[in-house]
Structure 1
Amino acid sequence: MKKVFSFLIAALAVSTTQAQDINDAYRYSSEQLGGTARYRALSGAFGALGGDLSAMSANPAGSAVFSTGEVGATFGNSSIRNNSLYFGTLATDSKSKFDLSQIGGVLVFNNQSKEANWRKIAVGFNVENSNSFNNNVFVAGFNPNNSIDKYFLSYANGVTLDDIEVYDGENVTEVYRWLGENRGYGAQQAFLAYQAYLINPISNDPENTQYVSNASYGTVDQEYFMATTGYNYKITFNFATQYKDKLYLGANLNAHAIDFSKYTYLSEIGFASNSTIQEIGFENDLKTYGSGFSFQLGAIAKLSDELRIGATYQSPTWYNINDELIQSLFTVSEVDNGDGTFTEFTDVVEPNVINIYETYKLMTPSKITGSLAYVFGKYGLISFDYSRKNYANAEFRPTSDSYFRDQNSIISNQLKDASSYRIGGELRVDNVSLRAGYRLEESPYKNERTVGELNGYSLGIGYNFGAVSLDIAYDHAKQDSYRSLYNVGLTDAATTSSKFNNVMMSIGIKL
């Protein structure tokens, strides 16, 4: 009855074991190409140009380039296709979504005095999806090394048998919850495996802490499915000003909102004929939500009527994040009756408990951007942006927490400085604008394999009706990754080649 008694005491507590790792730090530190169709068509090379709502979010000085106020919105379809190779087997999955990805506006207040040095003030507001998490990954193959039993054993060894037993007067839900509140995530994994008869103790002593697997295998037929959804929205409040005809200065205050869900399901069959375990299914449903704050400072200088340079500082983003997790495990076992026949058992361990983890803090790295643009009068332009971000500076907090210190050490050892290069051009023929761009983003990982470099190109067209403008863009990118299915035990990795395709349309209205 000790678990029930402790449960009654700790019923209002939350789980104190963190489930955060380097993958979370990278996910919330990275950004995708987003924004208006014109911005996308130039692959985001807008740091020295301005005059675009998304350019304003990239370099806050850009809103002062607007000659009049403007409002606009962007919507379209985003898709991703993943080809995953796992122990020689190729599997494919894809996902697409239609949504509103950007909306914003800017007001311009011109100084009526012709003698004034400060020519205008601009105030802007913009909301855009800086990172979409919509994705499906399917992995399948015959693993000659490991089963998910290694994952559970890595957590179980060291956990006492007394903790993961269900005694009279207790039930699965109560014990699983009690373990999360008093022993942590690892003990919950041990409990799932023990109650599903995937592992057995080497001794029935309540103080036993060593376990063995009931699964025997040469190779295991594994299928792994991951579906993620959600977004990381950036809400920008902008202020900018123009000094004479040569200098634009601006600042942004940014609010960030995270809504992320990840569902994973691992299925295993193909165990040895003498294995007690014949089938395993492991399900995890993670939900993450959070909010953050950052700021930006930017400048654009006109060195001549044609040549412009820009510089932007993007501060770290300081997040407060919450995680919630639901798990279940089922196994199919065959027990030898001793007379040449077998009895099949199906065990489903489904606690129906939402693990609510304590709020944690994440500081993502800062970024600096230098930009150069050449404007050919009314005929067009060419623009280049260079950015640098040190992903190794991402940090979980509080740093006094031993788990977070370990994760921060992993981040600093595995991540690195990464540069990105963007170039874009625009050709204007009367009211029609033709656009194209290219971008290269270096890998943030020192091994340059876990997440590889990203290459992408973009195309676009726009038409200016006068008070209304209509822009359409297509951008394509590809990136390879090599990631383990799980962080411990079953750490075999799949190589995934991802291709991103986006078609966007923006409507702008001058005020």
Structure 2
Amino acid sequence: MKRIYYIFIFLLIGGTLSAQTIDDALRFSKHDYSGTARSMSMGGAFGALGGDFSSLSINPAGIAVYRSSEFTFTPSLELVETSNSDVNNDKYSFTVGNIGYVASMVPRLAPDKGIQNFNFAIGYNRVANFNREGFLMTLESPTSRLDYWAEMSNGTHPDNLYAFEEQLAYDTYLLNHDDDFNYITPLYPNDVMDQMKYINEKGYIGEYIIAGGLNVSHKLYLGASIGIQDVYYKSTSTYIETIFGLDGNEIPNESALEEFAFKEYLKTTGAGVNFKIGAILRPIKNLRLGIALHTPTYYNLDERYETSMSSQFTPNMNDQPEFPVDGDANHEKYSEFVARSNFDLETPFRAIFSGAYLLGKRAIISVDYEMIDYSNSEFDDNNLNRSISESYASTHNLRIGGELRLNPNFSLRGGYARIGDPYKGVIDESYESYSGGLGFKQNNFFFDLGYQFREYDEDYNFYPGSDIVTMNNKNHQVRMTFGFKF
């Protein structure tokens, strides 16, 4: 998938800092339904199958399929590989993909028709993971982020510059102005810069679930759930421009500037709540059809943002009187305050249609089709909402899974998913994932092992007018589910 990321997050509008961006709306709206190893290895296609704790985040009617009580626990290991310009970064993370308890209550004298059992569940599924590191680089760029900052500053008194970017550039001698407050940089017209950015992201969205369901005549399964989503996201990034030719192999720039670095720190935490209802119909013995409706998740989020800037000049070579450096070649400045904001976010409504066919007790084929319109995400800010509706579109996700039971104790599984593009226009953020796994059960104990792989590209702009830089991402996940029936 490809996406153009403009690496500037905050705008100063009318003197008020607007912390949230449309990227937040997309980041906290996208979910990956792969809590248990069995669900992940079958592509997350569990909307019509049920009987797996992950299904409660997809179609809560899946709880009514259980015939016995169950406890599951799923540790997970994830590796994210990123690469750009032959530079590779790997980040491992150990997480809990799922932990859940299902209680199945069967009447002593269950009728032949009507309610056969009532089931209740409580637990946790991880629905998003943000952990990764990345490095981006552009060599010999004819433009500089300093040019962008100078353009943004023109006509503004230094006391009124944007405190998190241009003000820091001014305080570290990367910008100066004439009497009309037209800003200039220490670079000369023919100077070129090597540009780099290091990104370190971590975090997750976890969903705590309370669900209940009814089995009606083994023909109709009904369920509903309340989901409480816990959000944690942290991003630390460092953008560096280095004078081209410092290695001595090329003609160096004319400027006394050697390097500057701009660091950003963003942290978002909060919680949200949603409600889901679903049904699974079994019109014939081996066929199951499912439908699930998800309300928006109503988030309340807190964000914290701060920055710093540093510059390094060649000592005793400052021949630009408009850039006095006080006899010191190194300068560093932190934003004078930390921007804190609290805001509400409403994610889009979802609809999931599912079908599964059971080939006796030997095999299963399952398909989920999901519709979600990302343009319907909403903040408590009408300007951002207009940008969301102009940038995002409705999308369609397809998940397919299969299971082959080799004998009563051992099964093999495989899955495929295609996640649609949420963007309007030329940006394409669709991607595919492939998965597989196995399952073993003995008496009341079962063990599932699953693996998933997906690969996608992301296109970045360091600032408007800069070259596009592509980062390749490869995601590997291994999950193990330990379960007990009783």
> What is the TM-score of this pair, normalised by structure 1?
0.85
Shift of 1:455: 0.8
**Closer, same or farther in 2 for the Cα pair 1:143/1:300, shift >3 Å?**
farther
> Which residue, 312, 318, 330 being the options, matches 2:310?
330
- 1:412-451 equivalent positions in 2, closer than 5 A: 412-428=389-405, 429-447=407-425, 449=427, 451=428
1:291 equivalent to 2:275? Answer no
CA contact (8 A) 1:156 1:189 kept: no
> Which residue, 378, 383, 392 being the options, matches 2:375?
392
Distance 2:274 2:468 in 1: 34
Q: Residues 231-268 of structure 1, C-alpha deviation per residue, up to 9 Å, x if partnerless? A: 11111110111111210011111101111100000111
Letter in 1 for 2:149: F
Letter in 1 for 2:313: S
Distance 1:16 1:69 in 2: 54
Q: Which has the higher helix share?
A: 1
Letter in 1 for 2:50: G
Distance 1:448 1:388 in 2: 21
**Closer, same or farther in 2 for the Cα pair 1:247/1:492, shift >3 Å?**
same
Distance 1:490 1:267 in 2: 17
Shift of 1:415: 1.2
**Closer, same or farther in 2 for the Cα pair 1:139/1:113, shift >3 Å?**
same
**Closer, same or farther in 2 for the Cα pair 1:196/1:490, shift >3 Å?**
farther
Query: SS state of the match for residue 359, structure 1?
Result: strand
Letter in 1 for 2:479: M
Query: SS state of the match for residue 373, structure 1?
Result: strand
1:349 equivalent to 2:333? Answer yes
Counterpart in the other structure of 1:501 = 476
CA contact (8 A) 2:163 2:336 kept: no
Q: Residues 424-470 of structure 1, C-alpha deviation per residue, up to 9 Å, x if partnerless? A: 11111221011111111111112353x52111111110111121100
1:457 equivalent to 2:434? Answer yes
Distance 1:310 1:474 in 2: 26
1:253 equivalent to 2:236? Answer no
Distance 1:292 1:338 in 2: 56
> Which residue, 102, 105, 126 being the options, matches 1:106?
102
Shift of 1:190: 2.3
Distance 2:318 2:54 in 1: 69
Letter in 2 for 1:219: V
Letter in 2 for 1:68: S
Letter in 1 for 2:100: G
1:142 equivalent to 2:139? Answer yes
- 1:197-346 equivalent positions in 2, closer than 5 A: 197-203=173-179, 209-216=181-188, 218-270=191-243, 273-334=253-314, 336=317, 345-346=329-330
Letter in 1 for 2:351: I
Counterpart in the other structure of 2:115 = 118
Aligned residues between the structures: 456
- 1:367-386 equivalent positions in 2, closer than 5 A: 367-386=350-369
Letter in 2 for 1:131: A
Identity of aligned residues (%): 30
For structure 2, the 5+ residue unaligned runs are 1-14, 245-251
Farther-moved stretch of structure 1 (474-483 vs 304-313)? 474-483
Shift of 1:82: 1.4
CA contact (8 A) 1:147 1:490 kept: no
Q: Residues 326-355 of structure 1, C-alpha deviation per residue, up to 9 Å, x if partnerless? A: 21101112464669xx97611111247432
Counterpart in the other structure of 2:5 = none
Distance 2:480 2:319 in 1: 69
Counterpart in the other structure of 1:24 = 24
Query: SS state of the match for residue 29, structure 1?
Result: coil
Distance 1:352 1:211 in 2: 22
CA contact (8 A) 2:447 2:483 kept: yes
Shift of 1:490: 6.2
Letter in 2 for 1:133: F
Shift of 1:215: 2.6
Letter in 1 for 2:419: E
CA contact (8 A) 1:264 1:284 kept: yes
Query: SS state of the match for residue 452, structure 1?
Result: coil
**Closer, same or farther in 2 for the Cα pair 1:353/1:317, shift >3 Å?**
same
**Closer, same or farther in 2 for the Cα pair 1:244/1:329, shift >3 Å?**
same
> Which residue, 400, 408, 417 being the options, matches 2:385?
408
Shift of 1:113: 3.0
Distance 1:163 1:499 in 2: 43
Distance 1:145 1:273 in 2: 11
Counterpart in the other structure of 1:471 = 448
Letter in 2 for 1:368: A
For structure 1, the 5+ residue unaligned runs are 1-14, 165-185, 400-404
How much is the aligned-residue C-alpha RMSD, in angstroms?
A: 2.1
**Closer, same or farther in 2 for the Cα pair 1:91/1:411, shift >3 Å?**
farther
Shift of 1:376: 1.4
CA contact (8 A) 2:60 2:225 kept: yes
Counterpart in the other structure of 1:93 = 89
Counterpart in the other structure of 1:183 = none
Shift of 1:44: 0.5
Shift of 1:276: 3.8
Letter in 1 for 2:291: A
